[in-house]
Amino acid sequence: MPSEKSLELIRKYVDKYLGKTGTFTHPEPEVTEAVVQGLAAHVDTLGKPLCPCRFYPDKQEEITRRTWICPCDDMQQYKYCHCMLFVSEGGLPITEYLPEDHDGRQSYGDVADPSPDKAPRCKRGK
């Protein structure tokens, strides 16, 4: 069970990041809560909000790569959240900016960005 301090930290982060990206949390509160709990637990045990939706043979090594620290590389680059924490209003991950061969596009099809004015890094030319 994560600490209240870490839960509060993650909840504040989620609220701020929703505004920054123009995304929504999953319409099923249980999905959002499971991810928040996992992120907070990783803050308590690892010191970083490592994505709780993936398997890591070595979590400490994964932290040094930073690929799966929330927001993960795919979220920052393409506005695509594997955990389904930051999604479209309908609860689907945004796939609009993903490369054609990305597994997210294969799984969910084309899901438009609800806030293209808050485009991901790939569309800002960075």
* CATH code at position 90: 3.90.460.10
Question: Are the beta carbons of 31 and 84 closer than 8 angstroms?
Answer: yes
Per-residue pLDDT for 70 more than 80?
yes
Is residue 126 very low, low, confident or very high in pLDDT (cuts 50, 70, 90)?
Answer: very low
Q: Higher confidence at residue 121 or residue 9? A: 9
Q: Any idea which residues carry the catalytic annotation?
A: 53
Number of structural domains the chain divides into: 1
Per-residue pLDDT for 60 more than 50?
yes
The C-alpha atoms of residue 116 and residue 96 are separated, in whole angstroms, by 10
Domain that holds residue 81: 4-124
Averaged pLDDT of the chain: 94
Is residue 121 very low, low, confident or very high in pLDDT (cuts 50, 70, 90)?
Answer: confident
Is residue 110 very low, low, confident or very high in pLDDT (cuts 50, 70, 90)?
Answer: very high
Question: Are the beta carbons of 75 and 81 closer than 8 angstroms?
Answer: yes
Amino acid identity of residue 125, one-letter, is G
Give residue-wise pLDDT tens across range 76-95. Answer: 999 999 999 999 999 999 99
pTM for this predicted structure: 0.92
